[in-house]
Amino acid sequence: MQPAGQPTVLFDGKCGFCARSIRFLLAHQKPGALRLVPSQSADAQQLLAELGIAQRPASIVLVEDGQLRVRSDALLRISRYMRWPWNLLAYAAVIPAPLRDSVYDWIAANRYRWSKSSDVCAIN
């Protein structure tokens, strides 16, 4: 399912905030660095099943070298695949994970309030 060596980002395809974030990522990633897949898709479900994950995680997910990363860890790893200066965000890993994840959780809890949701993924 996952092309060899290509990290895959699973995101909420029904969230307008997430769709804008993915559009930003598309514009600023290193060419072809990441595969972007809505987490509601059959491809995402198959990939998670291959990793032994029964339920879709409620956050952004990065699958890289067979490892699943979520929340702020996923975002920081994703930033490594972005062009300069955005790849410098990876250095935020020095911030303790509980603090990073609390900010991530606050944004995740409010994302539907900040933008419209949709039944159709805006990226496709």
pLDDT in tens, 56-81: 787 889 999 989 999 999 999 999 99
Is 43 part of any domain?
yes
Residue span of the structural domain in which 35 resides: 8-114
Is 121 part of any domain?
no
For 13, the token pair is 């395809």
Q: Which residues of 95-111 are buried (b: 16+ CB within 10 A; e: fewer)?
A: eeeeebbeebeeebeeb
How far apart (Å, rounded) are the C-alpha atoms in residues 74 and 76?
6
Domain count for the chain, please give it.
Answer: 1
Is 1 part of any domain?
no
- Tell me the chain's radius of gyration from C-alpha atoms: 14
* pLDDT tens, residue by residue, 15-58: 888 888 899 999 999 999 999 999 989 999 999 998 888 887 87
Look up the pTM and report it: 0.84
> Residue 70 corresponds to which amino acid?
V
